[in-house]
Amino acid sequence: MDSKEDGTVENPINREPDTQRLVQSFLTPSKDHELSKPQAYDRNHGPIQHIDASTHKVTIKSDSIPTTSQVVPKRLDLVLTVDDLRSKFSQHTVTCALQCAGNRRHEMRSRVKEVSGVDWGDGAVMNAEWTGPLLRDVLTSAGLIEQEDEKEYEGLHVQMECNATKVQDDEWYGSSVPLAVAMDREREVILALEMNGTLLPARHGAPVRSIIPGIIGARSVKWLDKIVISPRESQNHYQQHDYKVLPPEATSPEKAEELGVWDSTPAMQDNPINSIVAVPAKDGDELRRDGRGRVKIAGYAIPQGKDGPVEKVEVSIDEGKNWVGARLLDDGDENTTHPSNMHKGKARGKYSWVLWEVEIEVDGPKEDVNIWSKATDRGGNTMKEDQPEGDWNLRGVGYNAVQGRTGVRIL
């Protein structure tokens, strides 16, 4: 990216690709080479950073933990270079979908009620292979003691920081997850150095970022330079006063402050189960029947937290009276469009999205059709049909309504 397009604290670069084009590739390229512009979404609270990997360091510390702790028996104080992260630790690759908590916010805003936040469509998501050392390996090398019983981690958090620049609402960007998440072998949390087999681009957090599979993108800190093990969550603005599903009585920012719900509402962690209609691309679009009287509908689906993979997607064009099972097309690389052979013998990834498509027979032209899609993952999580337009919250986050496209014309 040209440095002129890096954005500022006052006006960060926030953008998303066309969803219809996004779902043509199982792995999301950082850049659409055909169109010479970004294909993966950008979400920033300050300017994009360009950091020299040869001088960059990541500091690991502990904060206010009693010396009697079995987990952190002594104070942590370790500094690692990017070369250390690459050469001193085994490299692990995880395929996962990274999604902005505000993905689909425009639908909530336009269909339910006004919300506060960037007007994302449904392209604020990417699916990529991320490579780097496991965070638990880095933490144990710093002196943390891995426990057989995850209950031993209760009350401890991993704070992650980027101190490279001031951001819109704070002096630095930070987030945290429970330590149990970072140490969970199933969760595959890494400090990513590569994306899709090549070095991380600056816009995606180079030279190192955290990747926390199954958890909202806000917790996967870009341009990472500090990790702190602490008995409290990050006190950064974006952990304490953003990215929370506030209760419905918080009808405005002023009302939220008056009710004190920012402090009482937990910070978002796991992605909710979700399915998104990408073809047709927007409300009011037209679908044309083929020679067999069928229309083609396509999209993507994401599992809830670590309960993946998505195992079933169903689509309805009559508001839930009838559901048709979709084909799951979830294997390939960044140069392949929807592959005809689904898995190529590989297990479906726990944290990756699935691309899906379905052909539905329609007996004639129809007006004002609403298309619903519903995903179910291995953990049994599924999307609610009883409120198809979805639940509302002030920040417009975590939206996973089954209602995908409205007012569609079938010709």
The per-residue pLDDT for range 130-170, each reduced to its tens digit, is 999 999 999 999 999 999 999 999 999 999 999 999 999 99
What number is the average pLDDT over the span 292-305?
97
| pLDDT bucket at 342, cuts 50 / 70 / 90 | very low
Of the listed ranges 2-11, 135-144, 398-407, the one predicted with least confidence: 2-11
pLDDT of residue 68: 74
C-alpha 403/C-alpha 394 separation (Å) is 19
Give the dihedral of Cα atoms 239, 15, 107, 383; nearest 10 deg. Answer: -60
pLDDT of residue 336: 47
In the chain, the percentage of residues whose pLDDT exceeds 90 is 89
3-class secondary structure per residue, 209-225: EEECCCECHHHCCCCCC
pLDDT of residue 69: 86
Choose among 78, 76, 118: nearest CA to 101: 118
What number is the average pLDDT over the span 84-94?
97
Higher pLDDT, 206 or 340: 206
Q: Which residues of 319-351 are buried (b: 16+ CB within 10 A; e: fewer)?
A: ebeebeebbbbbbbebeeebeeeeeeeeebbbb
pLDDT of residue 92: 97
Q: What does the pLDDT look like over 310-327, one tens digit per residue?
A: 999 999 999 999 999 999
Of the listed ranges 56-70, 94-108, 282-296, the one predicted with least confidence: 56-70
pLDDT of residue 335: 47
What number is the average pLDDT over the span 96-113?
97
To the nearest whole number, what is the mean pLDDT of the chain? Answer: 93
Its pTM stands at: 0.94
Domains of the chain from N-terminus onward: 42-247 (3.90.420.10), 274-410 (2.60.40.650)
Q: Please say if the pLDDT value at position 344 is more than 80.
A: no
Q: What does the pLDDT look like over 151-162, one tens digit per residue?
A: 999 999 999 999
Q: Please say if the pLDDT value at position 331 is more than 70.
A: no
Q: What does the pLDDT look like over 247-291, one tens digit per residue?
A: 999 999 999 999 999 999 999 999 999 999 999 999 999 999 999
Q: What does the pLDDT look like over 65-75, one tens digit per residue?
A: 877 789 999 99
**Residue 190 bridge partners (DSSP):** 134, 211
Q: Please say if the pLDDT value at position 58 is more than 80.
A: yes
C-alpha 339/C-alpha 282 separation (Å) is 24
